[in-house]
A = this chain, B = another copy of it.
């Protein structure tokens, strides 16, 4: 077994990859015990630390588990990637989902339950080039303290980008840089208060309400219909904050029409509530121009929030929000003595990527790419033998398909798994019980390559 070639630079990583591959292709079977660290280290001629690090990584990613005083064991394949810390972003697969798992990971051709962009689409070489340039240009300035709201250069770059790409004018000063969406959600609770009621979309992206609640706030789950969050329902609850994604709701794909946006803003104005406009994938409207941002309609009541997870990589851990003047003032009062928790190095690199135009060129390339994937998927669906109702706003990287003739949600996922497709249903994203979300699959193709889309067999 121990035939890993560890002559390269990063021994532990090579070993980790080798074992992982072997597990995935079934050379190591579930329940099998891995060799003891010392034994493997001696066999491979590497240090015990190298083996330990590789095992730790496999452990962290759920490929193996450890039993005290016994050793390391291979985990069953069907839970790979779902268990523990390294699970995908929305890993809360319901029990019924496990029905199709028997076919094993090896058989999965397409994974529509995952949300991250294929790594090969990231413009790594130009990013690395910018990093090298920043390192040599800024030098020791990179060690300077970054103000709580982020580096001025990045804030200016984002302000100019928002003007060019979204047609909204934002003073650089009012932009706050944060380490990804969750950190910004947490800051919103600290700013507005944890004694307030936060209305979130149902079904929705579970981490929004989870983060609000982790920060001590109360959440109300408001139904999302074809027009986005049920505005009247949300208003009647007397919420203090409305967290919406009007450009393209996840997972329903709903786009909030201008009239609903206006009503929500009027309500927020009347009651002094705030709207969080979560614009997480607005860059990917594949056809036509996006609707005007809610922020453009009322910059006093709307907090505009976006990240670089969809456009660059989730591991980038960078996002930003634009605060209304009153909240920005409070932000500086509360956090003025803190440092921004995103390293200056990453901020400067991103600033240059945006102001040099590479960021927008990358988004355009991505859009073209995804447009191709989207077309292939629609063709495949058209040839699908069972009846289905497609709901696709072409405004982002996911759409929904209803299968009215399916007996229940689990059967859709089972049937998909037989075709090598891992998929989730709207019901998997329910945060509170409601009707109207039955028998609907969510096709999230942000992690799907053209090759994968082509490889899916028509049913």
Residues of B within 8 A of A138 (CB): 10, 13
Binary flags per residue of A204-232, CB closer than 8 Å to B gives 1, else 0? 00010010001110000000000000000
Please report the C-alpha to C-alpha distance between residue A124 and residue B139 in the assembled complex, in whole angstroms.
Answer: 8
Name the prevailing secondary structure of the A interface residues: helix
Residues from chain B with a CB closer than 8 A to the CB of A332 are 84-85
> In the assembly, what is the distance between CA of A120 and CA of B172, in Å?
31
Assess whether A156 is in contact with B56, with CB atoms less than 8 Å apart: yes
Would you call A143 and B313 a contact (CB within 8 A)? yes
The distance from the CB of A255 to the nearest CB of chain B, in whole angstroms, is: 27
Shortest CB–CB separation between residue A347 and chain B, in angstroms?
A: 10
Task: Give Cα A136–Cα B13 distance, bound, in whole angstroms.
Answer: 14
Contact, CB under 8 Å: B49 / A337: no
Stretch touching chain B among A36-44, A147-155, A235-243, A280-288: A147-155
Determine if B9 and A147 form an interchain contact, defined as CB atoms under 8 angstroms apart: no
**Which of B135, B137, B182 interacts with A338 by CB under 8 Å?**
B182
Asked whether B116 lies within 8 Å of A145 as measured between CB atoms, the reply is yes
Tell whether, in the assembled complex, residue A214 and residue B89 are in contact, meaning their CB atoms are under 8 Å apart: no
Knowing A119-B143, A132-B135, say if A342 contacts B315 (CB, 8 Å): no
**Cβ contacts under 8 Å, A148 to chain B:** 85
Please indicate the chain B residues that have their CB under 8 angstroms from the CB of A295 in the complex. Answer: none
A204–B338 Cα distance when bound, in Å, is 16
Residues of B within 8 A of A186 (CB): 186
User: In whole angstroms, what is the CA distance A207 to B190 when docked?
Assistant: 15
Instruction: Tell me how many residues of A have a C-beta within 8 Å of chain B.
Output: 79
Q: A9-B137, A315-B143, A344-B315 are in contact. Are A156 and B85 (CB under 8 A)?
A: no
Cβ of A173 within 8 Å of any chain B Cβ, yes or no, is: yes
**Residue among A9, A138, A143 with the highest chain B CB neighbour number at 10 A:** A143
Q: Please give the distance in Å from A193's CB to the nearest CB on chain B.
A: 10
Which residues on B sit within 8 Å (CB–CB) of A53? 152-153, 156
Asked if A196 CB lies within 8 Å of chain B CBs, one says no
CB distance from A58 to the nearest CB of B (A): 9
The residues of B that contact A89 with a CB separation of less than 8 Å are 337
In the assembled complex, A79 has its CB within 8 A of some CB on chain B: no
Interface residues of A in 309-350 (CB under 8 A from B): 313-317, 332, 334, 336-346
Tell me if A60 and B315 are in contact (CB < 8 A).
no
Residue of B nearest to A146 (CB): B315
Assuming A147-B85, A194-B216, is B339 touching A317 (CB within 8 A)? yes
What's the nearest-Cβ distance from chain B to residue A87, in Å? 6
Q: Is there an interface contact between A56 and B336, defined as CB atoms closer than 8 Å?
A: no
Cβ-defined partner of A119 (8 Å) among B131, B136, B140: B140
* Pair B180/A341 contact, Cβ less than 8 Å: yes
Nearest-Cβ distance from residue A309 to partner chain B, whole angstroms = 9
The complex places the Cα of A313 from the Cα of B160 at a distance, in Å, of 31
Nearest CB of chain B from residue A426's CB, rounded to whole Å: 20
Q: Say yes or no: A135-B128 contact (C-beta < 8 A), given A57-B152, A84-B332, A140-B122.
A: yes
Interface bits A109-142 vs B (CB < 8 Å: 1, else 0): 0000000100110101000100110011111111
For residue A8, give the distance in angstroms from its CB to the closest CB of chain B. Answer: 9
Is A12 located at the chain interface by the 8 A CB criterion? yes
On chain B, the residues within 8 Å of A141 by CB distance are 13
What is the CA–CA distance of A124 and B143 in the complex, to the nearest angstrom? 9
B315 touches A145 (CB 8 A): yes
A152 and B317 in contact (CB under 8 A), knowing A122-B143, A143-B122, A336-B84?
no
Say whether, besides A315-B144, A315-B343, A345-B346, A156 and B338 are in contact (CB < 8 Å).
Answer: no
Q: Which 8 A-B pairs have the closest CB atoms?
A: A179-B341, A85-B147, A143-B313, A56-B152, A85-B336, A57-B152, A216-B216, A60-B147
Can you list 14 contacts pairing A with B, beta carbon distance less than 8 Å?
A10-B138, A12-B153, A13-B141, A86-B145, A91-B337, A119-B144, A124-B143, A131-B345, A142-B315, A143-B315, A179-B341, A182-B341, A316-B343, A317-B341
